[in-house]
């Protein structure tokens, strides 16, 4: 079964960093685009960036590029999203998703809560 | 990059058809045949129902169809069913190889 399985919920203080993992099952991460998308409570989807495992290239949303780092470990079929200098506005569910023009499958989502 | 424009809500009765629009600009929707549509039920991950403007992935009901004219793409759901009640989001590639989503449309089946 082709799926992406993400790590569990996180609670972080403002100013801290968070790292979310996304493990592929049923396929390898070779020659793939892995995207990260977040959704604040009651809000829409916000694309954060993608990483290409083929060349190791990344492309980030302009408003996040100073704070987000996407990496992959093809040996463990795991992608990672690290977001630094967290603020309350970063409270959201974070999804990973495979693909370039369209995303399929998606991970189940990881809830990140930023508190004071 | 501004979000693509979708109506906040649409509604229809079972058996009817509805259409959701998604408007962008030349450098995203109008410049690439890459509009996708996603269905999201509450507290679930999104699921692709249309890719590349009008391609229906395997397993998606043929009641879902997509089209595009210029900078506006559309998702049509025919024969509405209660299970179609969800939020729907469009997305597109942009000229800088980033991705932009629409603000989302809540579909209510009356």
Give the tens place of pLDDT for each residue, B59-96.
Answer: 999 999 999 999 999 999 999 999 999 999 999 999 99
Q: DSSP secondary structure string, B61-79?
A: -TTEEEEEETTEEEEEE-S
Q: What is the tens place of the pLDDT at every residue in A78-90?
A: 999 999 999 999 9
Query: Looking at beta carbons, which residues of chain A come within 8 Å of B1?
Result: 61-62
Can you tell me the distance from the alpha carbon of A61 to that of B53, in angstroms, rounded to the nearest whole number? 23
CA dist., res. A37 & res. B10, Å (int): 24
At residue A114, the pLDDT reads 98
Dump pLDDT digits (tens) for A2-58.
Answer: 999 999 999 999 999 999 999 999 998 888 999 999 999 999 999 999 999 888 899
Mutate to test the interface with A, among B40, B46, B99, B102 (most CBs of A within 10 A): B99
Q: Name the band, by pLDDT with cuts 50, 70 and 90, for residue B33.
A: confident
The pLDDT score that the predictor gives to residue B92 is 96
Question: A104 and B104 in contact by Cβ < 8 A?
Answer: no
| Whole-angstrom distance, CA of residue A96 vs CA of residue A44 | 15
């Amino acid at each position: 079964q082709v799926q992406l399985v993400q790590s569990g919920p996180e609670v972080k203080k403002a100013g801290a960093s968070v790292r979310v993992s996304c493990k592929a099952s049923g396929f390898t991460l070779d020659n793939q685009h892995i995207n990260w998308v977040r959704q604040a409570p009651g809000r829409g989807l916000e694309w954060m960036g993608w990483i290409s495992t083929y060349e190791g290239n990344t492309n980030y949303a302009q408003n996040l590029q100073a704070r987000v780092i996407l990496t992959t470990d093809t040996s463990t079929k795991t992608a990672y999203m690290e977001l630094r200098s967290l603020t309350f506005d970063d409270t959201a569910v974070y999804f990973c998703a495979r693909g370039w023009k369209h995303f399929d499958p998606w991970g189940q989502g990881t809830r990140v809560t930023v508190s004071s | 990059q501004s979000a693509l424009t979708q109506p906040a809500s649409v509604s229809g009765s079972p058996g009817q058809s509805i259409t959701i629009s998604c408007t962008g600009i030349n450098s995203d929707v109008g410049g690439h045949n890459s509009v996708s549509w996603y269905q999201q039920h509450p507290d679930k991950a999104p699921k692709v129902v249309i890719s590349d403007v009008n391609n229906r992935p395997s397993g998606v009901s043929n009641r879902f169809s997509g089209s595009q004219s210029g900078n506006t793409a559309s998702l049509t759901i025919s024969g509405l069913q209660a299970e179609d009640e969800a939020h729907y989001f469009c997305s597109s590639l942009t000229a800088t190889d980033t991705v932009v989503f629409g603000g989302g449309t809540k579909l209510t089946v009356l």
